[in-house]
Structure 1
Amino acid sequence: MDFDFSFAFQPVVDAQAGGVLAYEALVRGLNGEGALQVLDRVSRKNMYRFDQACRVKAVKLAAELGMDSRLCINFMPNAVYKAETCIQTTLAAAKQYEFDTSRLIFEFTEVENLTDTDHLIGIIDAYEEMGFSIALDDYGAGYSRMNLLTDTTPQFLKLDMSLIRDVEKHPRKQAVIEGILLTNYRLGIGTIAEGIETEAEYQWCRSAGIRYFQGYLLARPGFETLPAPYIPDEQ
């Protein structure tokens, strides 16, 4: 690749435990530039190298920052040709930087238009067999792939911010979220409400039974740092 990048980290809060479940690694430019300035330079030609470099850099920086929580790494399913082979660089980096691989959460987005959903299911199954956790991001925002929840089960599902925004004012959003929560409960999936920006959004989601949260209300991403979250008081 002819470009370099770094990461910002944003906490995923465990409201029940009152601490941090994980930090999500969010790609940034070397001077903190936004993700789009980096991702616009990713092509089919360099996608594999970029995906591999992201994993190594995220693990390295997390270890250097002394991260003692779990680490969420976004991955590109279309860049993984064989899960068992493509994971070797990640495992080597974790060993080199002494980062416990059991604390890795691999996250993929529902909005990515996959050419082969069966391929993704195969990656998820392989990663779970290796002891990694899986998170499905942006759920409710993109391509509908309910078979991801019937053919395999991620450990975490992140509700898209479009469902969360002003949820306390929208009964239809509330009904959709309540249905997802029931499904997740039956399947044993942890629900993360992402994009939380207001106390009202947080309080409604908390009252609905959601345990995990991510968003500007709790903490903005910290460039090459691990920001401490604000956790609203229960009402």
Structure 2
Amino acid sequence: MTGETDRTCDACTCGLGFPLPLTIAFQPIVRPSSGAIEAHEALLRGRDGALAHTVLAAVSDANRPAFDRTARATAIALAARHGLAERLHLNLMPEALRHPEHCLAPLLAAASASGIAPSRLTLELGEDGRLFDLAFMRRFLAACRDAGLRVALDHLGAGYAAIGTLVDLAPDMVKLDLTLIRGIDRDRLKRARALEVVAACRALGLEIAAVGVETEGELAVLAEAGVDLVQGYLLAKPAFERLVTAEEIALPAEASA
């Protein structure tokens, strides 16, 4: 291992401290056919409940590894403390992990300390230039799978994640972007695009989730299209520092019919 590689890995595991306190809100990911909660997504918050952008404003290249590590460890510990029984989704920017086989270690250690098996963790990859670096992404996904982690490609349909990328990377799950979901019941072009994307994902054997679902009309179209899971204010808003329970899910009767 070269000196340069050693310094990079040290930065991943021992990076500068993050200057702001942070915490997590959890939003459930629901199977519309049954109303069952399949997973919870961890969403960044300030300690006073402030939205993610107030914390992200303090993130720099220098403290990003510490921020990334702290946010994931906080989410895992808090979910475990509240009796997590489902999967947990953690957001991750691929650029934060230059050497994934080393940088995944703190995440796995946090999971082990909280008694959560790696197979119950799903890493959501957001938009990042490295999604186009297929050699890097293949290595990254291989390291995740070797560790037993699931991987989801977020924001599908936002214009940057092509179907060809799905074929090359074959994640475990895709999440349809809210720009594709919003008003889909009133927009024939969006509906056609969504049906095309869902059909391609289904052919590849990928689990499909839709985010940002806010109306019964949107939910009805997505259920008809064959989306496996849904997430959004229609079903439940994010809960600050706790997990939403099944009794709190507001699923329209028609969705589970």
TM-score range (shorter-chain normalised) is over 0.9
Q: Could you tell me how far 1:94 is from its partner in structure 2?
A: 1.3
Tell me what 2:175 maps to. Answer: 158
**Aligned counterpart, 1:113:** 129
Gaps (5+ residues) in structure 1? none
Residue 142 of structure 1: how far off its partner (Å): 4.4
Q: What corresponds to 1:62 in structure 2?
A: 79
Q: How far apart, in 2, do the equivalents of 1:31 and 1:44 lie?
A: 25
In structure 2, what is the equivalent of residue 122 of structure 1? 139
Corresponding residue number in structure 2 for 1:230: 250
Residues 112 and 143 in structure 1, CA contact (< 8 A), matched pair in contact too: no
Whole-Å separation in 1 of the counterparts to 2:131 and 2:113: 34
For residues 193-220 of structure 1, what are the alpha-carbon distances to aligned partners after superposition, in whole Å with 9 as ceiling and x for unaligned?
1100001110111112112000000000
Return the offset for 1:178. Answer: 0.7
The amino acid that maps onto 1:33 is A
Distance 1:142 1:56 in 2: 31
Q: Is the 8 A contact 2:210 2:230 kept in 1?
A: yes
Distance 1:121 1:208 in 2: 29
2-side partners of 1:200 and 1:63: how far apart? Answer: 35
Query: How many residues were matched structurally?
Result: 234
Could you say what secondary structure the match of 1:27 adopts? strand
| Match of residue 184 from structure 1 | 201
Residue-by-residue CA offset, 1:122-158 (whole Å, 9 max, x unaligned): 2122212322111111111142444421212111111
Compute the RMSD of aligned alpha carbons: 1.5
1:50 aligns with 2:67: yes
- Which of 210, 213, 218 is the equivalent residue of 1:196? 213
Partner residue of 2:92 out of 71, 75, 92: 75
Q: Distance in 2 between matches of 1:86 and 1:144?
A: 25
Q: Is the 8 A contact 1:194 1:213 kept in 2?
A: yes
Structure 2: tracts of 5 or more residues without a match: 1-17
Deviations 1:49-99 (A, max 9, x none): 111112211110110111100000001210102111111111111111111
Is this contact kept in 2: 1:191–1:211, CA < 8 A? Answer: yes
CA contact (8 A) 2:137 2:169 kept: no
Alignment partner of 1:140 is 2:157: yes
Are residues 171 and 115 of structure 1, via their aligned partners in 2, closer, same or farther at CA, if it must alter by over 3 Å? closer
Partners of 1:142 and 1:6 lie apart in 2 by 31
Which protein has the larger Cα radius of gyration, Structure 1 or Structure 2? 2
SS of aligned partner of 1:168? coil
Aligned sequence identity (%):
36
Matched, 1:208 2:225: yes
Give the match for residue 9 of structure 2: none
The answer to whether the 8 Å contact 2:167/2:204 transfers is: no
More displaced stretch, 130-139 vs 33-42:
130-139
1:96-126 CA distances to partner (integer Å, 9 max, x unpaired)?
Answer: 11112210000011x3333862323321222
CA contact (8 A) 1:157 1:189 kept: yes
Higher helix share: 2
